[in-house]
Every structure is written in structure tokens, then in C-alpha cells.
Amino acid sequence: MPMEANSGPTTQIDRWLTLPLDLVVEIDRLVLPARDLGALRPGMILRTRKKSSDPMMLVIGGVPVARVEPTDTAECRRVRVKSVTSEAPCRR
């Protein structure tokens, strides 16, 4: 199969680098019995083990990559990256 003139390794890597990734801002992980899961209703409050001042984690593909903190504005909620973890795949 003939290769296109611009289909060298750099172009292939560039294509991978443009793939969208799902980022998850994780506050905490909770364990609930299945019967409690069925009782979830709008307005219910779930207690976490974290303090409101504790950083949250930015997770990609199940791997924590950064510690973040919320920075709410009038327009939207945002997070500020405080530090990048050593587990981050691209960290050197």
C-alpha cells in the first residue's frame, strides 16, 4: 500500500496528539451499598472524606495526573492546576 507524501512518523504522531481525551475532576471516591444507590434522589447530599480546602484530582483514563482546586467565577466553574503528579504519563 503506497504511503502519502506527508504520512511519515511526525504526521502520525500529530494525529494521535489531536485525539480528544476525557478529563475527570474528581472530588473523592465513595463506596455505597447497591440498596443506597437505588435511593439516590435529587437534592440528596453525599458526605465525602475530603475537606472543602483539600485539592481535587484531575484524572485521565483512571490515572491521576494533577492536583487542582476550584475557582468559581460568575460565568462558570473552573479548576486551577496546582501541581502535576509523578504518575502523569507525559511527566519526565
Residue 39 lies in a domain: yes
Domain span at residue 52 reads: 18-84
**Stated pTM of the model:** 0.64
Residue 26 sits in a domain of what CATH number? 2.30.330.10
88 band by pLDDT with thresholds 50, 70 and 90: low
In a domain, 8, yes or no: no
Backbone angles phi, psi at 35, to 5 degrees: -65, -30
Other beta carbons within 10 Å of 43: 4
pLDDT digits (tens, 9 = 90+) for 17-67: 888 889 999 988 888 888 888 889 999 998 889 888 888 999 998 899 999
Q: How many domains does the chain have?
A: 1
User: Residue 5: inside a domain, yes or no?
Assistant: no
Q: How far apart (Å, rounded) are the C-alpha atoms in residues 64 and 61?
A: 8
Q: Say if 38 falls within a structural domain.
A: yes
Residues contacting residue 77 through CB under 8 Å, at least 6 positions apart: 70, 71
